[in-house]
Chain A
Amino acid sequence: MKKSMVIMTAVLIGILSMGNVQAQAQGDVSDVLDSVDIHGFISQGYLQSDDNNYLANDTEDGTFQFNEFGINFATQLTDELRLGLQLFARDLGDLGNDEIELDWAFADYRWRDWAGLRVGKIKMPVGLYNEFRDIDALRTSILLPQSVYADSLRDVYIALEGVGIYGHIPCDSMGRLSYQVQWGTSNIDDEGGAAKNVERMAMGAIEAKSFDVSDGYVGSLQWHTPLQGLRIGGSLVTVDFKVDAAMTAALGPIPRGTLLTFDAEDLTIYALSAEYAVGDLLVAVEYSRVDIDIEAPDILAGIIPIELSKESEGYYASASYRFTDWFKLGAYYSIYYADVDDRDGDDLEQLGLPDHRAWLKDLALSTRFDINDYWIFKLEGHLMDGTATVSMPENPNDAEEDWFLFAAKLTFTF
């Protein structure tokens, strides 16, 4: 958090002071803001499910704990250099709680179209939509397919504090390549989705207290093919981190509350993506895999048979059609498996757990109404099969296998 504050302060001072210099140079001394672009969005959603509390705590009763807010400031200092930052807050059940965080803040030096440098807190280009996953105005659906854009891992791969290079390489008749490579570290919230994920992997035996991310690497390559509107891409993220966690119960000689450190080396996320836009139709398919291997401390050896290594996978196909300026219809089918070695849930059943915790299959239908240039209203239904990403603590009386989720959202963007 301290590092984020330093980055934010540095970028903000840069924007204001350089904006001032630029304004003076243009002879417009009185208004610094003339040279600073300001944009933002605010949205309020509603979630209700017939069974299972999902994403937020009490969706079975209906909840408004589902909102986002963002505002950004940016200025183009020279033809090559751009500075900007965005503040962001969200509430999604226990996540976010409307605490304002630094979403991104970086200096962008575009030396050539094929080679630019970014320094600061940079959004990670994972899959087609991760960089702008919080911007409701940019898609037809309310929820992105959770199989690939799981909110439980959002804080692991939303942004990196470090450096990145990027560029666009024209390939004549073969189209164009766009690449990004990033290196740095990231902040993982000790009360966020990643923490819950780790706790779930340990079957509730530990409670995550803090994360220490040492290194993170991101690579992304997209090929804008000669077929107009078709782009194909791949992206890879690896993150090394340590989790300090407390035992939630006494285990053998280890008393309850003992603080232990778990090593997670090479948490790897990769995604393969394709998107085709033709006329008012947009179709996309993506496949994503998350490999996580957490090494328990030696003191636990032989005491607990907890398997902390898992490979999950998810994929989806989506389509969206713009019928008029004000109406879009979209649908997707998304499948997620919590453990690729136990897609049918047999291992879970042997542990006395329901097999449907192994998967989540989501058939979603979305409608989007653009009221004007600023206001958007959306309605969405999800026919769900499975409970893989349904939180256990929020559903103490066993989750239901087949269920329905309704979502509505109103967004203002400027």
Chain B
Amino acid sequence: MKARTIIVAMWGIMLFSLLAGAPVLADEVVVIANQSVVADSVTQGTVSDIYMGSKTRWEDGETIRVAMLKEGRTHEAFVQDLLGSTPDRLKNFWVKAVFTGTGTPPKVFKTEADLVKYIAGTRGAIGYVASSTPHEGAKVLAVR
């Protein structure tokens, strides 16, 4: 009986380890915005409020246009480090908004280059990229 319990427990631990997978290494992520955005810095709480739909305007009244990446390490690092959430929960939040009619989801990009292009050309836009990704035309917002 004891041996069976130990074997079952070992199988459980092995299965858990396999399913849990390896931890994701976080890249350094910078928050970027369109040049029209007056602010030079934002708090982490503000970034979270923007991406969770509870803040839709900058302090000067300009509408915030939210952009995000579809997936990838930069996206995972941003969501985990700055939003304190997971990509899965962020996606679920916006699926809820879509199916209850309570919000318009962020614009989603497959590549960081496309996201930078959108930010540079859209008033009030905010997004994020890896620090190594060229982001000319967009301003970097310091996160306090």
Closest to B44 in A: A228
A-facing residues in B46-60 (Cβ within 8 Å): 49, 54-57
| Interchain CB contact (< 8 A) of A72 among B45, B63, B89, B99 | B99
Query: Of the candidates B16, B45, B86, B98, which one forms a contact with A37 in the assembled complex, judged by CB atoms under 8 Å apart?
Result: B98
Decide yes or no whether B100 CB sits under 8 A from chain A.
Answer: yes
Instruction: Check: B134 CB closer than 8 A to any chain A CB.
Output: no
Give chain B interface residues in 1-36, CB to chain A under 8 Å. 16, 19-21
Measured in the bound complex, the distance between the Cα atoms of B100 and A105 in whole Å is 9
Select which of B63, B89, B96, B99 is within 8 A of A79 by beta carbon. Answer: B63
A137 to B96, CA, bound (A): 9
Indicate if A324 sits at the interface (CB-CB under 8 A): yes
User: Which of A55-63, A106-114, A265-273, A293-301 is near enough to bind chain B?
Assistant: A106-114
A132 and B99 contact, CB distance less than 8 A: yes
Could you give, for residues 158-174 of chain A, a 1 whenever the CB lies within 8 Å of some chain B CB and a 0 otherwise? 00000000001010000
Asked if A48 is at the interface (CB within 8 A of a chain B CB), the reply is no
Measured CB to CB, the closest approach of chain B to A210, in angstroms, equals: 29
Known: A168-B54, A170-B49. A74 touches B101 (CB 8 A): yes
B132 within 8 A of A: no
Partner of A84 from the list B19, B95, B101 (CB cut-off 8 Å) is B101
Whole-angstrom distance between the Cβ of A220 and the nearest chain B Cβ:
12
The yes or no answer to A310 lying at the interface (CB within 8 A) is no
Contact in complex: B84, A110 (CB < 8 Å): no
Most A CB within 10 A of own CB, among B16, B21, B55, B101: B101
In the assembled complex, A99 has its CB within 8 A of some CB on chain B: no
Q: What is the distance, in angstroms, from B29's C-beta to the closest C-beta of chain A? A: 17
Chain A residue numbers with a CB within 8 Å of B104 are 37, 74, 76, 82
**Separation in Å of the A211 CB from the closest CB of chain B?**
24
Q: Which residues of A contact B41 (CB under 8 A)?
A: none
Binary CB contact string for chain A from 131 to 156 against chain B (1 if under 8 A, 0 otherwise): 11001011000000000000000000
Query: Is A216 part of the binding interface, using a Cβ–Cβ cutoff of 8 Å?
Result: no
Chain A residue nearest in CB terms to B54: A168
- Cβ-defined contact, A113 with B100, below 8 A: no
User: Could you tell me the distance between the alpha carbons of A37 and B49 in the complex, rounded to whole angstroms?
Assistant: 23
Instruction: Let me know if B101 and A108 touch, CB within 8 A.
Output: yes
Minimum CB–CB distance for A69 against chain B, Å: 12
For residue A138, which residues in chain B have a CB less than 8 angstroms away from its CB? Answer: 92, 95-96, 99
Docked complex Cα distance between A322 and B87 (Å): 11
Query: Measured between alpha carbons, how far is A137 from B45 in the docked complex, in Å?
Result: 28
Whether the pair B56, A322 counts as a contact (CB closer than 8 A) is no
- Interface contact A41-B99, CB-CB below 8 Å: yes
- Whether, in the assembled complex, B131 has its beta carbon less than 8 Å from a beta carbon of chain A, the answer is no
Tell whether, in the assembled complex, residue A113 and residue B56 are in contact, meaning their CB atoms are under 8 Å apart. yes
Does A132 contact B96, Cβ atoms closer than 8 Å? yes
Q: Which residues of B have CB within 8 Å of A37?
A: 98, 104
**Does B133 interact with chain A (Cβ within 8 Å)?**
no
- A322-B86, A323-B19 are known contacts. Are A135 and B99 too (CB-CB below 8 A)? yes
Chain A residue at smallest Cβ distance from B43: A172
Q: Would you call B98 and A39 a contact (CB within 8 A)?
A: yes
Residues of A within 8 A of B49 (CB): 168, 170, 176
A54 neighbours in B (Cβ, 8 Å): none
The answer to whether the Cβ of B88 comes within 8 Å of any Cβ in the partner chain is yes
A298–chain B nearest beta-carbon distance, Å: 43
Q: Are A323 and B96 in contact (CB under 8 A)?
A: no
A279 touches B86 (CB 8 A): yes
Shortest 7 CB-CB contacts between residues of A and residues of B: A323-B19, A168-B54, A228-B84, A84-B101, A79-B63, A131-B100, A135-B99
Listed by A's residue number, 18 A-B pairs whose Cβ atoms lie within 8 Å are: A72-B99, A74-B101, A79-B63, A82-B101, A82-B104, A84-B101, A104-B101, A105-B101, A106-B101, A123-B101, A131-B100, A132-B99, A135-B95, A135-B99, A137-B92, A228-B84, A280-B88, A413-B95
Other than the known A104-B101, A138-B95, what 11 A-B pairs have Cβ atoms closer than 8 Å? A76-B104, A79-B56, A113-B54, A113-B56, A131-B100, A170-B45, A228-B84, A228-B85, A280-B88, A323-B16, A324-B20
